[in-house]
Structure 1
């Protein structure tokens, strides 16, 4: 994960994401790509396409570049290679197209935290990126003075389709030398005996070289509450999930993780595409 994209609208939430990305970059010797997307009115888009020079457009570009330059000069970004781009494109489309052109390894995005996180899951740009991005997406919920990840909960059904994205989870955990806390959530609708769950998890992890990990079975009334309650119980710093790409946050046990999980946690969440 040497190339990190941080989309910014110059909000506090975007700044929180940039702070986390900076700490990852310093630990991993990574480069940060700071991207601001301009969505212009249709008439301005037509003029830009025709090569016309519109004062308003030029002013937007100038102001955006000035803000990006000011961001680059912040003390906590010193020593990090940072590239800045102002791009004319809708936010969601622009982020995904930028990834492909620049071979990005990780996207770090901000969100509104527990009170407004439903925007991630109901048609927002962040939700679309989480759902459709082929690369890992780290969503930061609040300002973290120190993005020091020591314990990561990775919740899954540990099926075969999870193996490929799990390699990315291992790669991310190694950046921080973090402990992976693997958990299978059992509910009345997706019941597994402890022996069945343990066997599934042991067979899954046997295919990987992982040293710092533990395996757990946790029972709760539903998957979302189980992940949230288990994460709080073990005091983890980050939640890792896999995304399916069709229904938003990944399906577990033939279902989908509902907005409840993200609505009620202020923990950062990293997602990996199946």
Structure 2
């Protein structure tokens, strides 16, 4: 977790994400890449990339740098190395390129919460980032004075194609000194006996030396409700789920989890790419 990317439009939601990123950076000696995308008409992007003196480009660039200066003057960023980047590009493309160019380990993004997953501060581009990012994406929707993660729910169907995401979750849990709650949600439409589910989980984690975990098989009407209800019961500080790339965040278990999981979760959610 040495390089953290925080895309921003300088909104309150973006600042909440930056505050969390700052806490993580101070704890783990990380650097923050603060990225603001100027989504101007595509027919002008090439001109801007050639250092055009067009008034529109200069105006928006100057305004962005002013906002950067104000953001980076906040006390919570003192002692943190910040890399300021303003780019003329489509948001999704810019985030993807920045991750590749700088070897980003984690993306931290803000959310408007109940207004919907697609209403996150950079709009529908956020769904694309979560769906396709090669690095974990941490979605923040509240202000966290102290971002302390003690209980981390990792929900999965525990099929072997998810094994890589579990290894990422373990690495995160160790860094945060958190307990992982391995959660299998049972539904009427996709019922698995407790014995079968537990055996699948044990086989899934075989070979791992991580010991700070619990195993839970939870019954509910839907997978989404099961994750949310279980997380409430154990007082989870963070929910982790896996994504299947082009199939999207909705592809989970053998069916789908709607974007309601992210919309309705009152807790931070982190996604891991399978």
Matches within 5 A, 1:1-274: 1-42=1-42, 44-45=44-45, 47-49=47-49, 51-119=51-119, 124-249=124-249, 251-274=251-274
Alignment gaps of 5+ in structure 1: none
Mapped to 2, the partners of 1:84 and 1:38 lie a distance apart of: 14
C-alpha contact 1:131 1:249 (8 A) present in aligned 2: yes
TM-score where L is the length of structure 2: 0.95
Instruction: Give the secondary-structure state (helix, strand or coil) at the position aligned to 1:246.
Output: helix
Shift of the 52–263 alpha-carbon distance from structure 1 to 2, 3 Å rule, reads: closer
Shift of the 43–175 alpha-carbon distance from structure 1 to 2, 3 Å rule, reads: same
Mapped to 1, the partners of 2:81 and 2:237 lie a distance apart of: 27
Mapped to 2, the partners of 1:204 and 1:42 lie a distance apart of: 46
Mapped to 1, the partners of 2:109 and 2:171 lie a distance apart of: 19
Mapped to 2, the partners of 1:43 and 1:131 lie a distance apart of: 27
The alpha carbon displacement at 1:115 in A equals 3.2
Q: How many residues align?
A: 272
C-alpha contact 1:44 1:54 (8 A) present in aligned 2: no
Mapped to 1, the partners of 2:261 and 2:129 lie a distance apart of: 18
TM-score where L is the length of structure 1: 0.95
C-alpha contact 1:224 1:257 (8 A) present in aligned 2: yes
The alpha carbon displacement at 1:55 in A equals 2.0
Mapped to 2, the partners of 1:12 and 1:2 lie a distance apart of: 25
Q: CA RMSD in A?
A: 1.5
> Which piece of structure 1 moves more, 61-70 or 36-45?
36-45
Mapped to 2, the partners of 1:64 and 1:14 lie a distance apart of: 14
Mapped to 2, the partners of 1:206 and 1:106 lie a distance apart of: 26
The alpha carbon displacement at 1:189 in A equals 1.3
Instruction: Give the secondary-structure state (helix, strand or coil) at the position aligned to 1:262.
Output: helix
C-alpha contact 2:117 2:260 (8 A) present in aligned 1: no
C-alpha contact 1:27 1:176 (8 A) present in aligned 2: no
Mapped to 1, the partners of 2:155 and 2:43 lie a distance apart of: 47
C-alpha contact 1:165 1:242 (8 A) present in aligned 2: yes
Instruction: Give the secondary-structure state (helix, strand or coil) at the position aligned to 2:108.
Output: strand
Alignment gaps of 5+ in structure 2: none
C-alpha contact 1:243 1:251 (8 A) present in aligned 2: yes
The alpha carbon displacement at 1:256 in A equals 1.6
